[in-house]
Amino acid sequence: MKPKIQDVAKAAGVSPTTVSRVLNNRGYISQSTKDKVYHAMEMINYIPNDLARSLYNQKTNLIGVIVPSTSNPFYGELVAEIEHACNTKGYKVLLCNSLHEADKEQEYWDMLQRNQVDGVIVVTYNRGVVPKNHSAPAVAIDHYISSHMHVVSSDNYKGGEAATQELLTQGCQKPIHINGPLTLDTPANLRRQAYEDVMRKNHKEPMTYEIPDVAYLNINMETIKRIFQDHPDVDGIFASDDLLAIKVMQYATSLGYSIPNDLKVVGYDGTDLIQTIYPELTTIVQPIAALAETALTVLEKQMQHENQPEKENVLPIQVKEGHTT
Amino acid sequence: MKPKIQDVAKAAGVSPTTVSRVLNNRGYISQSTKDKVYHAMEMINYIPNDLARSLYNQKTNLIGVIVPSTSNPFYGELVAEIEHACNTKGYKVLLCNSLHEADKEQEYWDMLQRNQVDGVIVVTYNRGVVPKNHSAPAVAIDHYISSHMHVVSSDNYKGGEAATQELLTQGCQKPIHINGPLTLDTPANLRRQAYEDVMRKNHKEPMTYEIPDVAYLNINMETIKRIFQDHPDVDGIFASDDLLAIKVMQYATSLGYSIPNDLKVVGYDGTDLIQTIYPELTTIVQPIAALAETALTVLEKQMQHENQPEKENVLPIQVKEGHTT
DNA sequence: TTTTTTATGTCAACCGGTTGACATATCATG
DNA sequence: CATGATATGTCAACCGGTTGACATAAAAAA
């Protein structure tokens, strides 16, 4: 059997209460007793049972993280940053990949509640999927999950503006925007709004296409093909994420377009991975580490029941000029 | 306060024991009582406390997963597959990113033990970093962590053979191999062994380079530059992972090499992501989903104290012919 | 010397749920 | 009607650690 506090007490020749006092640094303890206790713990290989501690303390230091899938580099990096931020502050991460499925997401919420997580960071789509009694503090990254949930996002409007402006500045006459499903209520929709606003401001008609499915790594090429069929004279494309931008470029190149001469492309997200293997891509860089840290900070405030006036937390984006514009 | 079993009992007009019996499907319970209890749980929004359950049952259904970082697409996809496999079987994933740091890894091991995980899946480097009393069942993917730990890996020798053979078949006279740090004791070293064996079998002198640091997303270009300085006539490169292969190709192209005419390149891993955005890359595809599933299966057997004769579990790889060879 | 402060022990209750032992009552079956 | 299967209740112990109340004794300060 695993050694317990009783065993440590016996080995150290003290009472269980004293061992607990040493472990939690409470009350008066002499240095010699501390040494004895720590030594005994080493000797018998004692490992505190956090389950029992958490049960009594009503605090698990567990943070639930729900993302579509760590397969996608954006979420992979975001999860890595979240985990890092959590680890720094002593929290542990329970990982959930919702795979864009609403029922899975619901199940994960329930699971997290059963496991008494102290908080949830959710980066996912399905609005309305909130635990019946959303007792645990929660914060969303880049998605409006429910009206009362705090949101951390990057400045999607500015990002959309910058991307569109970049295309226009580089001389595009007919920049087209491609985005994900608009049924999702996400701040990312502001990118499209910004695109449309900038286009109109420049007396151009906005043209947008929508990728119907959210199947990240297997992007449906139909929409991309349709763009080039409908508009063979397209000279600029603002894609709502880098993977999409790359797919567009691949297809355009196969059709004989030269980038950036015939066609300019701007992506979105700017993950380290894509910047490493596709450094030529012009893209809007989201502050992934800052998103993670801010989300955790906001969550911590909630956990400590501090009131937070701002429901939304918007972080600045960066434009990374590559060679595709 | 959160409702507990007592509250459900009161609301349903039964005893706490009966509620527990309903929850755990033990003993005799009438359908009407079941209904009453479930209804009461709905009414008062009861959520079972898995902490308390786990404490008594001595089983948490938690699996610790230690990887270098989900930022890397290979680990990102592997973690996604592991999490999926776990979820299917009712396990929950505690995620740990070791960032290749031995002390972090040690800390994570301790943390997982404190949290009473039922098992650990470890995909990481630092041999020797094993919990003093490695009480929890554990299985390693693609790394020899300690002599008594079970290992699941893909057929690295065959992969190395296939990659080298591919280059030779395509007419390379001087294929060079680049691998990660050899100080790490990983089955991946078999790739290099296979490369050397195949080269010798073909009466060629093996030439290998080693990337000293394991800094995934910021590959040290020095080694790559040196290769082209030392061997301007290189006509084939077998890189030990896809990211490295891509970096090599970028640098070679910048020097004026044409791929695959002047230089042929084979990568390794074949993640969905790289295959999506770099479909032209010839690479050796690791069976990521199978690695995850097998690791969990092996782990489960350990958790159920079934004896397993084979310490190593080797899964087949696939060659994906692209246009870089 | 008296009073604090420091140091440690004993004991029981608690966190929330599980389980075995035992009692009791209803119902169906032989 | 006797018997066994079904259904539910009561109670206490347990999982492993925490904590407050209270007692006691030695060391330090007044």
* pLDDT of amino acid B298: 95
* pLDDT of amino acid A149: 87
The domain boundary, picked from B13, B41, B57, lies at: B57
Chain C positions within 7 A of any protein Cβ atom are 6-12, 14-21
Q: How would you write the pLDDT of chain B (325 residues) with one tens digit per residue?
A: 799 999 999 999 999 999 999 999 988 999 999 999 999 999 999 999 999 999 999 999 999 999 999 999 999 999 999 999 999 999 999 999 999 888 899 999 999 999 999 999 999 876 666 655 556 899 999 887 777 889 999 999 999 999 999 999 999 999 999 987 766 677 878 999 999 999 999 999 999 998 876 555 566 788 899 999 999 999 999 999 999 999 999 999 999 999 999 999 999 999 999 999 999 999 999 999 999 999 999 999 999 987 776 778 999 999 999 999 8
Cβ-defined contact of A71 to B272 (cutoff 8 Å): yes
A22 and A167 assigned to the same domain: no
Mutation pick from B45, B92, B244 vs chain A, by most beta carbons of A within 10 Å, is B92
Q: Looking at residue A20, which CATH number applies to its domain? A: 1.10.260.40
Whether A236 and A172 have beta carbons less than 8 Å apart is answered as: yes
B114 and B231 assigned to the same domain: no
**Within-domain flag for B322:** no
d(CA B257, CA B261): 8
A44 and A66 assigned to the same domain: no
A148 and A217 assigned to the same domain: no
- Nearest Cα of chain B lies from the Cα of A87 at a distance, in angstroms, of 9
A160 and A305 assigned to the same domain: no
CA A10 – C1' C11 distance (Å)?
17
Q: In chain A, what residues touch B47 (CB-CB under 8 Å)?
A: 110, 113-114
- Proximity of residue A33 CB to strand D below 7 A: no
- Proximity of residue A143 CB to strand D below 7 A: no
* pLDDT of amino acid A290: 98
- Nearest Cα of chain A lies from the Cα of B28 at a distance, in angstroms, of 26
Spatial CB neighbours of A148, under 8 Å, sequence gap ≥ 6? none
* pLDDT of amino acid A147: 75
**Within-domain flag for B321:** no
A134 and A210 assigned to the same domain: no
Measured in degrees and rounded to the nearest 5, phi and psi for residue A283 equal -155, 165
**Within-domain flag for B76:** yes
A282 and A200 assigned to the same domain: yes
Domain containing A118 equals 62-152+289-313
- Nearest Cα of chain B lies from the Cα of A205 at a distance, in angstroms, of 31
**Within-domain flag for A184:** yes
The domain boundary, picked from A19, A36, A57, lies at: A57
Task: List, for chain A, all residue ranges whose pLDDT scores fall below the cut of 70.
Answer: 126-135, 182-184, 213-219, 309
The domain boundary, picked from B14, B42, B57, lies at: B57
**Within-domain flag for B260:** yes
B137 and B231 assigned to the same domain: no
Q: Counting beta carbons within 10 angstroms of the beta carbon of residue A54, is it exposed (0 to 12), middle (13 to 18) or buried (19 or more)? A: buried
* pLDDT of amino acid A310: 73
d(CA A58, CA A55): 5
* pLDDT of amino acid B215: 56
Residues 7-66 of B with CB under 7 A from strand C: 16-17, 20-21, 23-24, 26, 46, 48-49, 51-53, 55-57
CA B53 – C1' D9 distance (Å)?
22
Strand partners, A266: A238, A282
- Within chain B, how many helices (H) and strands (E) appear? 12, 12
A163 and A271 assigned to the same domain: yes
A41 and A72 assigned to the same domain: no
Q: Could you tell me the two tokens for B88? A: 């299917």
Residues 26-45 of B with CB under 7 A from strand D: 27-33
Structural domain count of chain B: 3
Strand partners, B265: B237
CA B69 – C1' C10 distance (Å)?
49
**Within-domain flag for A323:** no
Q: In chain A, what residues touch B90 (CB-CB under 8 Å)?
A: none
Q: Which pLDDT tens digit goes with each residue over B223-243?
A: 899 999 999 999 999 999 999
- Proximity of residue B15 CB to strand D below 7 A: yes
Q: Looking at residue A160, which CATH number applies to its domain? A: 3.40.50.2300
Whether A276 and B243 have beta carbons less than 8 Å apart is answered as: yes
- Nearest Cα of chain A lies from the Cα of B80 at a distance, in angstroms, of 6
B128 and B273 assigned to the same domain: no
Q: Could you tell me the two tokens for A36? A: 């004895």
**Within-domain flag for B219:** yes
Nucleotide of closest approach to A21 (CA, C1'): D18
CA A136 – C1' C17 distance (Å)?
21
d(CA B199, CA B265): 16
Q: Which pLDDT tens digit goes with each residue over B168-224?
A: 999 999 999 998 776 667 787 899 999 999 999 999 999 999 887 655 556 678 889
Q: In chain A, what residues touch B93 (CB-CB under 8 Å)?
A: 94-95
**Within-domain flag for A72:** yes
Cβ-defined contact of B92 to A115 (cutoff 8 Å): yes
B242 and B217 assigned to the same domain: yes
